[in-house]
Amino acid sequence: MAQVIPDAWQVPARIRQRVGVQAGRQRAIVEEGHLLLILHELPKDDEVTRPAKLFWRAPDGTWRATGAGQSSGLPVLKRHLETVHQALVQLDDRVDAGKTAQDFFTVLNAATPLHRTSRNLHKALQDARDAVDDREVIAMRDSAGDLERTAELLVGDARNALEYTVARNTEAQAANGQRAVEAQHRLNLLAALFFPVTAIGSMLGMNLRTGMEQAPPVVFWLVLVLAFASGFAIRSSLEKK
């Protein structure tokens, strides 16, 4: 049965028994003075499973890493931590430059799995530190702790920025809606003011005999005043409501 641990690595059989054909979660495995670190590559969009990166520390302090051949795996492990750090810095810059809710949502969508990855990375290195007395492991454990804290702050900043942007947009939409209601109300007041004049003017302008064809001009002015008085009365009733 194929394993993720390279065949050339002289790790104890117990370690091979504890790792199957898939690497599984990030963790540290210690047997007979041997340390095996199972870490994950950085998360990518729409990725269900993440490729594993394995690091083996022999009892004599030598390190090996998958993909590094026979060269020391310690620099590879340090570069892995630096890669996580750079990814967090880039996302933090995107939060600072973000302007829309979509910008912050995209950052949050990328930062959440990265936060989870950094948290599990820190836990794996903490378990390695508890099992192995190595100053390099201690230093990397501390670095992983800083990465977890940075990722936590990044997720919090992105979430706060997203919520603030959504609230600000909602407030702006509510203000625009209120202005539209006020404009509609003013339009209704103007319509109420001129409605009687328009209605009476339409009635008197019809080509029908009303008996007022020979009325003196004062009648016209009386009708006009009464129409405007009716308009003001309707407008006043609308303002009170």
Q: List the chain pLDDT tens, one digit each, 241 residues.
A: 347 888 889 999 999 888 877 888 899 999 999 999 999 988 876 666 778 899 999 999 999 998 877 678 899 999 999 999 999 999 999 999 999 999 999 999 999 999 999 999 999 999 999 998 899 999 999 999 999 999 999 999 999 999 988 888 888 788 888 888 777 777 777 666 666 667 666 655 655 455 555 667 776 677 667 766 776 676 676 566 5
**pTM greater than 0.85 (yes/no):** no
What pLDDT does 200 receive? 64
Task: List the structure tokens of 8.
Answer: 């050339």
Torsion region of 46: left, alpha or beta (phi above 0 gives left; psi -120 to 50 gives alpha): left
Residues in the chain: 241
pLDDT score of 234 = 66
Q: What is the pLDDT of residue 187?
A: 72
Q: Which residues of 93-130 are buried (b: 16+ CB within 10 A; e: fewer)?
A: ebbeebeebebbbbbbebbbbbbbbbbbbbbbbbbbbe
Question: Amino acid identity, residue 202?
Answer: S
**pLDDT for res 93:** 94
For 132, the token pair is 């192995």
Dihedral pair phi/psi, residue 69, rounded to 5°: 65, -135
Helix (H) or strand (E) holding 36: strand 34-40
Place of tokens 């009635």: 203
Residue 56 pairs in a beta bridge with: 36, 64
Could you tell me the two tokens for 17?
Answer: 């028994």
The per-residue pLDDT for 172 is 79
How far is 200 from 214, CA to CA, in rounded Å? 18
Q: What is the pLDDT of residue 228?
A: 66
Q: Determine the 3-state secondary structure of 52 from DSSP.
A: strand
Which helix H or strand E contains 115, and what residues bound it? Answer: helix 101-131
Q: Are 27 and 124 in contact, with CB atoms under 8 Å apart?
A: yes
Between CA 44 and CA 187 the distance in angstroms is 55
What single-letter amino acid sits at 228? F
